Amino acid sequence: MDVRFVAPDLRKLDGLDAEAIAVPVHSDERPLRGTTGLLDWRLSGRFSQLLVRGRLTGREGERVLVPGAGRLAFDKIVLIGAGPSARLDRDHARRVIAAMLEVLDGLRIRRAALALPGRTWELLDATAAMETLAPKILEPHEQDAITIVDHADEHRVMQRALESARRKHRADAG
């Protein structure tokens, strides 16, 4: 699987070649921040409206599919409930990432973007976030390419963590 990186900037996101983006929503994150907040802003507060109406809560396990509505580079936005931010640790992040990939697989998405849980509030550092993601994306999935949305100054750190996980995976398999 090809893994790329992009900064959480609307102009950068507009240039992505992705069919869908998956983003976490914490149950105690109000207003929405990070990539989720940027997408909400671009969609004129659609996610915020879902929150107000109770159709989106951010509880762990929640999955909400929202169309990009022609205002974004991707057709689909997958909102994944991440529960309370205080509970986020590597195991919790691993479950949220697994839910993201499961939904993307179910939708048969080939090119996707992901905003990793814990990164908006820096509850997980870049290395920990990538070490949490790497084993999941090294498993077979529908995606040919995944773009990780994170701060540009963390891309190199994340790339090193991914390469380390790939070497370990090859060593364990071979």
Residue 140: cis peptide before it, omega within 30 degrees of 0 = no
pLDDT tens, residue by residue, 93-107: 999 999 999 999 999
Which tokens hold the place of 88?
């986020």
Q: How confident is the model at residue 9 (pLDDT cuts 50, 70, 90)?
A: very high
How far is it, in rounded angstroms, from Cα 57 to Cα 150?
24
pLDDT at residue 174 greater than cutoff 80: no
Asked if the 2-173 domain carries CATH number 3.30.460.20, the reply is no
Q: Give the pairing of strands 63-67 and 76-83.
A: antiparallel
Sequence ranges of the domains in the chain: 2-173
For residues 118 and 140, give the distance between their C-alpha atoms in angstroms, rounded to a whole number: 24
* pLDDT computed for residue 138 by the predictor: 86
Residue 70's pLDDT is what? 83
Angle made by CA atoms 72, 135, 67, in degrees to the nearest 5: 20
User: pTM for this one?
Assistant: 0.94
